[in-house]
Amino acid sequence: MAAPVRGSPLAVTLQAHELDLHGHRVSYRIAGSGPPLLLLHGIANSSATWERVAPLLSERFTLIAPDLLGHGESATPRGDYSLGAHASGARDVVTALGHERVTVVGHSLGGGIAMQFAYQFPERTERLVLVASGGLGREVHLLLRAAALPGADYVLPALTSRRVMNVGREVGSLLARVGLRPSGDVDVLARGFASLDNAGSRQAFLHTVRAVIDPGGQRVSANDRLALAALLPTLIVWGARDSIIPVEHGAAAHEAMPGSRFERFEMAGHMPHDDEPERFADALERFCDTTDGARLGHDHWQPLLGE
Protein backbone atom coordinates (compact mmCIF):
# COMPACT_ATOMS: atom_id res chain seq x y z
CA MET A 1 0.00 0.00 0.00
CA ALA A 2 1.43 3.36 -1.00
CA ALA A 3 1.68 5.69 1.99
CA PRO A 4 0.69 9.35 1.60
CA VAL A 5 3.40 11.85 2.47
CA ARG A 6 2.80 13.06 6.03
CA GLY A 7 1.84 16.69 6.16
CA SER A 8 0.91 16.82 2.47
CA PRO A 9 -2.47 18.26 1.41
CA LEU A 10 -3.47 14.76 0.28
CA ALA A 11 -3.05 13.21 3.72
CA VAL A 12 -6.38 12.35 5.34
CA THR A 13 -6.73 13.42 8.95
CA LEU A 14 -9.17 12.28 11.60
CA GLN A 15 -12.12 14.69 11.77
CA ALA A 16 -13.51 15.46 15.25
CA HIS A 17 -17.21 15.08 16.06
CA GLU A 18 -19.34 14.76 19.20
CA LEU A 19 -22.26 12.65 20.35
CA ASP A 20 -24.47 12.89 23.41
CA LEU A 21 -24.75 9.38 24.83
CA HIS A 22 -26.75 8.77 27.97
CA GLY A 23 -26.37 12.43 28.92
CA HIS A 24 -22.60 12.55 28.48
CA ARG A 25 -20.49 14.16 25.76
CA VAL A 26 -18.52 11.62 23.75
CA SER A 27 -15.92 12.91 21.32
CA TYR A 28 -14.89 10.75 18.39
CA ARG A 29 -12.89 11.09 15.19
CA ILE A 30 -13.61 9.58 11.82
CA ALA A 31 -11.84 9.32 8.47
CA GLY A 32 -11.82 7.31 5.27
CA SER A 33 -14.24 4.89 3.70
CA GLY A 34 -14.55 1.15 3.42
CA PRO A 35 -14.90 -1.60 6.04
CA PRO A 36 -15.09 -0.07 9.53
CA LEU A 37 -12.22 -0.19 12.01
CA LEU A 38 -13.04 0.70 15.62
CA LEU A 39 -9.82 2.16 17.10
CA LEU A 40 -9.59 2.13 20.91
CA HIS A 41 -6.79 4.07 22.59
CA GLY A 42 -4.88 3.44 25.81
CA ILE A 43 -5.09 4.92 29.28
CA ALA A 44 -4.36 8.66 29.68
CA ASN A 45 -4.46 8.90 25.91
CA SER A 46 -7.05 9.80 23.28
CA SER A 47 -8.09 9.22 19.70
CA ALA A 48 -5.08 11.36 18.74
CA THR A 49 -2.90 8.27 19.28
CA TRP A 50 -3.95 7.09 15.79
CA GLU A 51 -3.02 10.30 13.93
CA ARG A 52 0.21 9.04 12.31
CA VAL A 53 -1.32 5.84 10.98
CA ALA A 54 -4.75 7.30 10.07
CA PRO A 55 -3.74 8.66 6.62
CA LEU A 56 -2.54 5.18 5.67
CA LEU A 57 -5.48 3.21 7.03
CA SER A 58 -8.13 5.64 5.77
CA GLU A 59 -7.37 4.76 2.15
CA ARG A 60 -8.95 1.35 2.70
CA PHE A 61 -11.07 1.62 5.84
CA THR A 62 -13.61 3.76 7.65
CA LEU A 63 -11.89 4.77 10.88
CA ILE A 64 -13.93 5.28 14.04
CA ALA A 65 -11.77 6.49 16.93
CA PRO A 66 -13.67 7.53 20.07
CA ASP A 67 -12.24 9.28 23.08
CA LEU A 68 -13.17 6.93 25.92
CA LEU A 69 -15.13 8.55 28.73
CA GLY A 70 -12.69 10.32 31.02
CA HIS A 71 -10.19 10.77 28.20
CA GLY A 72 -9.47 13.31 25.49
CA GLU A 73 -12.41 15.63 24.77
CA SER A 74 -15.06 13.29 26.17
CA ALA A 75 -16.85 13.96 29.45
CA THR A 76 -15.38 12.92 32.80
CA PRO A 77 -18.46 11.89 34.80
CA ARG A 78 -18.55 10.10 38.11
CA GLY A 79 -19.44 6.58 37.15
CA ASP A 80 -18.30 3.21 35.88
CA TYR A 81 -14.85 3.07 34.27
CA SER A 82 -14.60 -0.71 34.07
CA LEU A 83 -13.62 -2.57 30.89
CA GLY A 84 -17.25 -3.61 30.45
CA ALA A 85 -18.51 -0.04 30.70
CA HIS A 86 -15.94 1.20 28.19
CA ALA A 87 -16.84 -1.66 25.82
CA SER A 88 -20.52 -0.77 26.06
CA GLY A 89 -19.68 2.87 25.35
CA ALA A 90 -17.70 1.87 22.26
CA ARG A 91 -20.63 -0.29 21.11
CA ASP A 92 -22.95 2.71 21.51
CA VAL A 93 -20.71 4.89 19.32
CA VAL A 94 -20.62 2.21 16.62
CA THR A 95 -24.41 1.85 16.81
CA ALA A 96 -25.01 5.61 16.68
CA LEU A 97 -22.89 5.81 13.51
CA GLY A 98 -24.88 3.02 11.85
CA HIS A 99 -22.28 0.24 11.71
CA GLU A 100 -23.43 -3.31 12.33
CA ARG A 101 -20.04 -5.06 12.60
CA VAL A 102 -16.49 -3.79 13.03
CA THR A 103 -12.90 -4.94 13.23
CA VAL A 104 -11.88 -3.86 16.73
CA VAL A 105 -8.35 -2.50 17.18
CA GLY A 106 -7.23 -1.81 20.75
CA HIS A 107 -3.98 -0.37 22.08
CA SER A 108 -2.85 -0.96 25.69
CA LEU A 109 -5.96 -0.43 27.87
CA GLY A 110 -7.86 -0.32 24.58
CA GLY A 111 -6.73 -3.88 23.92
CA GLY A 112 -8.39 -5.03 27.12
CA ILE A 113 -11.52 -3.13 26.11
CA ALA A 114 -11.36 -4.67 22.62
CA MET A 115 -11.28 -8.17 24.11
CA GLN A 116 -14.19 -7.29 26.39
CA PHE A 117 -16.07 -5.85 23.39
CA ALA A 118 -15.62 -9.13 21.50
CA TYR A 119 -16.74 -11.10 24.56
CA GLN A 120 -19.81 -8.96 25.27
CA PHE A 121 -20.79 -8.31 21.66
CA PRO A 122 -19.57 -11.19 19.45
CA GLU A 123 -22.32 -10.41 16.95
CA ARG A 124 -20.74 -6.96 16.38
CA THR A 125 -17.13 -8.18 16.08
CA GLU A 126 -15.54 -9.32 12.79
CA ARG A 127 -11.89 -9.35 13.83
CA LEU A 128 -9.76 -8.53 16.86
CA VAL A 129 -6.47 -6.62 16.74
CA LEU A 130 -4.47 -6.28 19.97
CA VAL A 131 -1.67 -3.70 20.05
CA ALA A 132 0.61 -3.90 23.13
CA SER A 133 -2.53 -4.94 24.93
CA GLY A 134 -3.36 -4.91 28.60
CA GLY A 135 -5.13 -7.84 30.20
CA LEU A 136 -2.69 -10.54 29.09
CA GLY A 137 -0.33 -10.78 32.06
CA ARG A 138 0.54 -9.35 35.45
CA GLU A 139 3.53 -7.13 34.63
CA VAL A 140 2.97 -3.42 33.94
CA HIS A 141 5.07 -0.27 34.37
CA LEU A 142 5.77 0.83 37.95
CA LEU A 143 4.21 4.28 37.44
CA LEU A 144 0.86 2.76 36.53
CA ARG A 145 1.03 0.41 39.52
CA ALA A 146 1.79 3.42 41.73
CA ALA A 147 -1.44 5.07 40.59
CA ALA A 148 -3.32 2.23 42.30
CA LEU A 149 -1.71 2.99 45.67
CA PRO A 150 -3.67 4.69 48.46
CA GLY A 151 -2.85 8.37 48.44
CA ALA A 152 -2.24 8.60 44.70
CA ASP A 153 -5.20 10.99 44.58
CA TYR A 154 -3.11 13.56 46.44
CA VAL A 155 0.17 12.96 44.60
CA LEU A 156 -1.22 12.95 41.05
CA PRO A 157 -1.82 16.73 40.78
CA ALA A 158 1.86 17.34 41.54
CA LEU A 159 3.01 14.66 39.09
CA THR A 160 0.91 16.16 36.31
CA SER A 161 2.01 19.75 36.80
CA ARG A 162 3.29 21.48 33.69
CA ARG A 163 6.75 21.98 35.24
CA VAL A 164 7.22 18.28 36.03
CA MET A 165 5.95 17.21 32.60
CA ASN A 166 8.25 19.67 30.86
CA VAL A 167 11.22 18.23 32.75
CA GLY A 168 10.23 14.72 31.66
CA ARG A 169 9.96 15.75 28.02
CA GLU A 170 13.27 17.62 28.16
CA VAL A 171 15.04 14.55 29.56
CA GLY A 172 13.58 12.37 26.82
CA SER A 173 14.54 14.90 24.14
CA LEU A 174 18.10 15.17 25.44
CA LEU A 175 18.57 11.40 25.44
CA ALA A 176 17.23 11.19 21.90
CA ARG A 177 19.70 13.85 20.69
CA VAL A 178 22.67 11.80 21.86
CA GLY A 179 21.32 8.65 20.25
CA LEU A 180 19.85 7.00 23.34
CA ARG A 181 16.28 5.78 23.52
CA PRO A 182 14.66 7.07 26.74
CA SER A 183 14.15 4.10 29.01
CA GLY A 184 10.72 3.22 30.28
CA ASP A 185 8.88 4.83 27.35
CA VAL A 186 9.41 8.12 29.19
CA ASP A 187 7.83 10.22 26.49
CA VAL A 188 4.71 8.05 26.26
CA LEU A 189 4.15 8.29 29.99
CA ALA A 190 4.98 12.02 30.09
CA ARG A 191 2.43 12.82 27.39
CA GLY A 192 -0.18 10.70 29.12
CA PHE A 193 0.28 12.31 32.52
CA ALA A 194 0.40 15.77 30.93
CA SER A 195 -3.13 15.20 29.58
CA LEU A 196 -4.49 14.92 33.13
CA ASP A 197 -4.76 18.68 33.49
CA ASN A 198 -7.97 18.93 35.54
CA ALA A 199 -9.60 17.24 38.52
CA GLY A 200 -12.15 15.39 36.36
CA SER A 201 -9.56 13.79 34.08
CA ARG A 202 -7.37 12.85 37.05
CA GLN A 203 -10.25 11.15 38.86
CA ALA A 204 -11.31 9.33 35.68
CA PHE A 205 -7.70 8.16 35.22
CA LEU A 206 -7.53 6.83 38.78
CA HIS A 207 -10.88 5.05 38.49
CA THR A 208 -9.80 3.47 35.18
CA VAL A 209 -6.40 2.39 36.52
CA ARG A 210 -7.87 0.89 39.68
CA ALA A 211 -10.41 -1.08 37.65
CA VAL A 212 -7.60 -3.06 36.02
CA ILE A 213 -4.40 -2.57 38.08
CA ASP A 214 -3.41 -2.95 41.72
CA PRO A 215 -0.02 -2.22 43.34
CA GLY A 216 1.19 -5.69 42.31
CA GLY A 217 0.36 -5.25 38.62
CA GLN A 218 -2.52 -5.96 36.28
CA ARG A 219 -5.36 -7.63 38.13
CA VAL A 220 -7.77 -8.23 35.23
CA SER A 221 -6.74 -11.04 32.90
CA ALA A 222 -8.33 -12.44 29.77
CA ASN A 223 -5.97 -15.43 29.69
CA ASP A 224 -8.61 -17.87 30.90
CA ARG A 225 -10.85 -16.94 27.94
CA LEU A 226 -8.40 -16.66 25.06
CA ALA A 227 -9.20 -20.11 23.68
CA LEU A 228 -12.80 -18.98 23.18
CA ALA A 229 -11.57 -16.78 20.31
CA ALA A 230 -10.79 -19.72 18.01
CA LEU A 231 -13.41 -18.56 15.49
CA LEU A 232 -12.50 -14.87 15.71
CA PRO A 233 -9.58 -13.80 13.47
CA THR A 234 -7.00 -12.19 15.75
CA LEU A 235 -3.85 -10.18 15.10
CA ILE A 236 -1.42 -9.33 17.91
CA VAL A 237 1.10 -6.51 17.37
CA TRP A 238 3.82 -5.61 19.87
CA GLY A 239 7.00 -3.57 20.07
CA ALA A 240 9.99 -5.62 21.25
CA ARG A 241 11.23 -2.57 23.22
CA ASP A 242 7.97 -2.07 25.09
CA SER A 243 8.78 -1.29 28.73
CA ILE A 244 5.20 -0.54 29.81
CA ILE A 245 3.75 -3.98 29.00
CA PRO A 246 6.32 -6.64 28.06
CA VAL A 247 6.27 -8.22 24.61
CA GLU A 248 6.25 -11.66 26.26
CA HIS A 249 2.56 -11.11 27.03
CA GLY A 250 1.85 -10.94 23.31
CA ALA A 251 3.86 -14.06 22.53
CA ALA A 252 2.05 -16.02 25.25
CA ALA A 253 -1.36 -14.81 24.05
CA HIS A 254 -0.50 -15.88 20.51
CA GLU A 255 0.26 -19.39 21.76
CA ALA A 256 -3.04 -19.49 23.65
CA MET A 257 -5.20 -18.19 20.77
CA PRO A 258 -5.63 -20.82 18.04
CA GLY A 259 -5.09 -19.36 14.58
CA SER A 260 -3.93 -15.95 15.80
CA ARG A 261 -1.12 -13.99 14.12
CA PHE A 262 1.73 -12.28 15.94
CA GLU A 263 3.73 -9.33 14.59
CA ARG A 264 6.77 -8.31 16.65
CA PHE A 265 8.26 -4.90 15.76
CA GLU A 266 11.88 -5.14 16.86
CA MET A 267 12.57 -1.38 16.88
CA ALA A 268 9.28 -0.21 18.41
CA GLY A 269 8.27 0.51 22.00
CA HIS A 270 4.81 0.68 23.53
CA MET A 271 3.37 2.50 20.49
CA PRO A 272 4.17 0.34 17.43
CA HIS A 273 1.42 2.01 15.40
CA ASP A 274 3.08 5.38 16.07
CA ASP A 275 6.71 4.23 15.87
CA GLU A 276 6.27 2.36 12.58
CA PRO A 277 2.96 3.48 11.02
CA GLU A 278 3.69 2.16 7.52
CA ARG A 279 4.55 -1.33 8.76
CA PHE A 280 1.57 -1.31 11.12
CA ALA A 281 -0.83 -0.29 8.35
CA ASP A 282 0.59 -2.95 6.03
CA ALA A 283 0.21 -5.65 8.67
CA LEU A 284 -3.36 -4.64 9.49
CA GLU A 285 -4.38 -4.39 5.83
CA ARG A 286 -2.82 -7.77 5.03
CA PHE A 287 -4.59 -9.33 8.01
CA CYS A 288 -7.99 -7.99 6.92
CA ASP A 289 -7.41 -8.98 3.27
CA THR A 290 -6.52 -12.58 4.12
CA THR A 291 -9.19 -13.33 6.72
CA ASP A 292 -12.96 -13.57 6.54
CA GLY A 293 -14.74 -11.48 9.13
CA ALA A 294 -16.47 -13.58 11.77
CA ARG A 295 -20.25 -13.86 11.73
CA LEU A 296 -21.05 -14.84 15.30
CA GLY A 297 -24.34 -14.79 17.15
CA HIS A 298 -24.94 -12.81 20.33
CA ASP A 299 -24.95 -16.09 22.29
CA HIS A 300 -21.91 -17.54 20.51
CA TRP A 301 -19.88 -18.13 23.68
CA GLN A 302 -22.68 -19.86 25.64
CA PRO A 303 -22.09 -23.45 24.42
CA LEU A 304 -18.35 -23.07 25.04
CA LEU A 305 -18.54 -21.87 28.63
CA GLY A 306 -19.01 -25.32 30.15
CA GLU A 307 -16.14 -26.94 28.22
Among candidate residues 108, 133, 195, 243, the one labeled active-site is: 108
For residue 134, give the 3-state DSSP assignment: coil
Among candidate residues 270, 273, 274, 300, the one labeled active-site is: 270
Listing DSSP states for 4-60 in one string gives PPTTSTT---PEEEEEEETTEEEEEEEEE-SSEEEEE--TT--GGGGTTTHHHHTTT
At 122, which amino acid appears?
P
Within 13 Å of residue 287, how many CA atoms lie on the same side as its CB? 28
State the Cα–Cα distance between residues 296 and 126, nearest whole angstrom: 8
**Residue length, the chain?**
307
Taking alpha carbons only, the member of 67, 83, 72, 3 closest to residue 30 is 67
Within 13 Å of residue 17, how many CA atoms lie on the same side as its CB? 17
**How much helix, strand and coil, in percent to the nearest 5, is found in the chain?**
45, 20, 40
| Catalytic residue check, 108 | yes
Among candidate residues 242, 243, 254, 300, the one labeled active-site is: 242
State the Cα–Cα distance between residues 31 and 33, nearest whole angstrom: 7
| Catalytic residue check, 270 | yes
| Catalytic residue check, 298 | no
| C-alpha of 272 from chain center | 11
Active-site annotation, residues:
108, 242, 270
